[in-house]
Structure 1
Amino acid sequence: MNLARFPRRRYTPGFTPIEFLPHLTALLGGPEIWIKRDDLLGLAGGGNKTRKLEFLVADALAKGADTLVTVGAPQSNHCRLTLAAAAKEGLACRLVIEERVPGTYSPDALGNNLLFDLMGAQSIRTVPLGADFAAEMAIEADVVRAAGGVPYLIAGGGSTPLGALGYAACAQEIMAQSFDLGVAFDHLVVASGSAGTHSGLLAGLTALNAGLPITGINVRRPRAEQETNVHKLAETTAQLLGTPVPARETVVALDDWVGPGYSLPTPEMVEAVRLLASREGVLLDPVYSGKAMAGLIGLVRRGHFKTGERVLFLHTGGSPSLHAYARDLRDPALNA
């Protein structure tokens, strides 16, 4: 797998840590639980989108772009990090925000919405659930061109074959760290949303013949739909890399922990966020990593992972949005 032939901007010096979680492991009483700290990636607040943007922004710069245009939900980590990359590179950035739950975007909200303002979004425009993202970004691109600029459009989550290369690179990183640590992992668990992270890992691990199965924890869609999306993007990512296409049966994206919908809190998510914060000092987010960890905890309690196995959880970041969910996450006993 030769990633060196693709232009790349580096926003993180070195590898992100892999750490053992002894207190969570002891509490759950099953497999060893480890964590890959992609919440510590570079750019403002870190998170998985940074890896994708390393390839996407390099492409934008190579094409002479002066403005990044992208889309996301309210409290979008992807929008936050795209803005951060734009600021770092001296580019403008325009956002299209899809209100997947009506009325959930407020320019006055804390969390990532505050950071959109601080990092100088040139434009923030909201659209309803189901809007045609390509058409909406084209509108923004036309505005940029009319002003004499050069736009570069980035799909939601940076989840294109080029963006997914960031997690093919992460697959290489995980295997190198596994060797250095002398720890062979039996399972990898990751949030599965716009599919770029899940698909990139799948393509990369397949190319490396790693034999490390991935369990995706879906945060938005029904399982069948999400698994189809993941496999399609893994296929096109593998084709870009020139490596074997992952088999369809290797794609798992469980939907048991989505709850009432994307970004909507669940008791299991709240438990997971509070457990990791109080037992390990690790901050998860309510939308992605919190629900993914809820899935991992649920699978341990079901006996899905065997005692003594080593499970690696990929922390996709997102903690800057925690403040926007304070009412859902606080312990009621503290306010009694």
Structure 2
Amino acid sequence: MNLTRFARRRYTPGFTPLEAMPRLSALLGADLWIKRDDLLGLAGGGNKTRKLEFLVADALAGGADTLITVGAPQSNHCRLTLAAAAKEGLACRLVIEERVPGSYSPVALGNNLLFDLMGAESIRMVKAGSDLAAELAEEAAAVTAAGRKPYVIVGGGSNPLGALGYAACAQEIMAQAFDAGVAFDRIVVASGSAGTHSGLIAGLVALNAGIPVTGINVRRPRAEQEANVLKLAEATADLLGTPRPQAADIVALADWVGPGYSLPTREMVEAVRLVARSEGILLDPVYSGKAMAGLIALARAGAFTGERVLFLHTGGSPSLAAFADVLRDPAFN
């Protein structure tokens, strides 16, 4: 797998840590490790940084001066796109899709506060179900009309170019595992806009790693999400020029989505608290918290017996303050 032919900005010096989680492992009776992509570069870290390394490089190569993207309220992707824009001296416009009615507030804490601190040029809220491609095109047209050059980044940075960031992560994991003298039997990761999940699978297949990936869905029904992941994984492999993943490679369990995207569950709150108190690692309520809730349930059910499992931490802790009431709510504890 040759990634050197793709332009790339580097926002993280070196590899993110690969750590054992001995106290959580003892509590759950499983051999658990964590890949700390919450410690990636840019403001607050998280998985979108890897995608933006390829996407922003493409934007700069094309002479863009303005990044435009979309996300939900408290979007980690919007936060990191804005951070990349600030680092590169670019303007940035955000379209916020209010997926849960009444969930967006321009004065909210968490990532919304960071949108203001990092100087988003504009933030426009649209209702759930809006034609997001059309909304992004409208923003791009406004930038063009002002005599500037826009670069549109899809939600989550989840297109084949962005997914290369997690093909690169697959290489990184394999190199670190070799250096540490460990072998992983399974990787568990949150599955949302599909770029992280798809890129990781495309990379592992290209490397003939033989490591299954269990995705924990945070938004959609299982069949719908698995179809999305497979389609993007195939497109990413085509871009790489490597063998395509097969349907059998794709697992995106939907048992821990709860009532919907970003809506809290008791299992998520337990996961966030348990990992914070056992390992001193902060998860987020939308992605990594629900993914860890799935891992915890699977471990308690004996699904990982005899396996060494790597949890890919996709970040998101800057949004924790916006969910303080939920995390302290006795109904969820």
> Aligned partners of 1:309, 1:302: CA distance in 2, in Å?
13
Corresponding position of 2:24: 24
Question: Given the alignment of the two structures, is residue 3 of structure 1 paired with residue 6 of structure 2, yes or no?
Answer: no
The superposition leaves residues 218-274 of structure 1 with CA deviations (integer Å, 9 ceiling, x where unpaired) of: 000000000000000000000000000001111000000000000000000000000
- The one-letter code of the counterpart of 1:327 is D
The superposition leaves residues 174-201 of structure 1 with CA deviations (integer Å, 9 ceiling, x where unpaired) of: 0000100000000000000000000000
Question: Given the alignment of the two structures, is residue 137 of structure 1 paired with residue 136 of structure 2, yes or no?
Answer: yes
Corresponding position of 2:313: 315
> Aligned partners of 1:325, 1:78: CA distance in 2, in Å?
18
C-alpha RMSD of the superposition: 1.1
The superposition leaves residues 132-167 of structure 1 with CA deviations (integer Å, 9 ceiling, x where unpaired) of: 111000000011011111000000000000000000
- The one-letter code of the counterpart of 2:322 is A
The DSSP-based 3-state class of the residue aligned with 1:243 is coil
Which runs of structure 2 are paired with 1:229-244 in the superposition (5 Å)? Answer: 229-244=228-243
- The one-letter code of the counterpart of 1:246 is P
How many residue pairs match? The answer is: 332
> Aligned partners of 1:17, 1:209: CA distance in 2, in Å?
23
Query: How does the TM-score come out when normalised to structure 2?
Result: 0.99
The DSSP-based 3-state class of the residue aligned with 1:94 is strand
> Aligned partners of 2:304, 2:127: CA distance in 1, in Å?
40
The superposition leaves residues 58-99 of structure 1 with CA deviations (integer Å, 9 ceiling, x where unpaired) of: 000000000000000000000000000000000000000000
- Greater Cα offset, 322-331 or 59-68: 322-331
Unaligned runs of 5+ in 2: none
The DSSP-based 3-state class of the residue aligned with 2:14 is coil
- The one-letter code of the counterpart of 2:216 is I
Corresponding position of 1:36: 35
The alpha carbon displacement at 1:332 in A equals: 4.2
- The one-letter code of the counterpart of 2:252 is A
> Aligned partners of 1:16, 1:278: CA distance in 2, in Å?
22
- The one-letter code of the counterpart of 2:328 is R
Corresponding position of 1:114: 113
Corresponding position of 2:13: 13
> Aligned partners of 1:226, 1:75: CA distance in 2, in Å?
22
Corresponding position of 2:327: 329
Which runs of structure 2 are paired with 1:223-302 in the superposition (5 Å)? Answer: 223-302=222-301
The DSSP-based 3-state class of the residue aligned with 1:211 is coil
> Aligned partners of 2:167, 2:131: CA distance in 1, in Å?
28
- The one-letter code of the counterpart of 2:295 is L
Corresponding position of 2:59: 60
- The one-letter code of the counterpart of 2:324 is A
- The one-letter code of the counterpart of 1:125 is R
The DSSP-based 3-state class of the residue aligned with 2:190 is strand
> Aligned partners of 2:239, 2:2: CA distance in 1, in Å?
11
> Aligned partners of 1:20, 1:57: CA distance in 2, in Å?
32
The DSSP-based 3-state class of the residue aligned with 1:102 is coil
The superposition leaves residues 10-50 of structure 1 with CA deviations (integer Å, 9 ceiling, x where unpaired) of: 00000000000011000112x20000000000000000000
The alpha carbon displacement at 1:303 in A equals: 1.3
The DSSP-based 3-state class of the residue aligned with 2:311 is strand
> Aligned partners of 1:331, 1:77: CA distance in 2, in Å?
23
The alpha carbon displacement at 1:331 in A equals: 6.5
- The one-letter code of the counterpart of 2:20 is F
The superposition leaves residues 290-321 of structure 1 with CA deviations (integer Å, 9 ceiling, x where unpaired) of: 00000000101111111x42000000000000
The superposition leaves residues 191-218 of structure 1 with CA deviations (integer Å, 9 ceiling, x where unpaired) of: 0000000000000000000000000000
> Aligned partners of 2:93, 2:299: CA distance in 1, in Å?
42
> Aligned partners of 2:102, 2:145: CA distance in 1, in Å?
31
- The one-letter code of the counterpart of 1:82 is T
Unaligned runs of 5+ in 1: none
Corresponding position of 1:196: 195
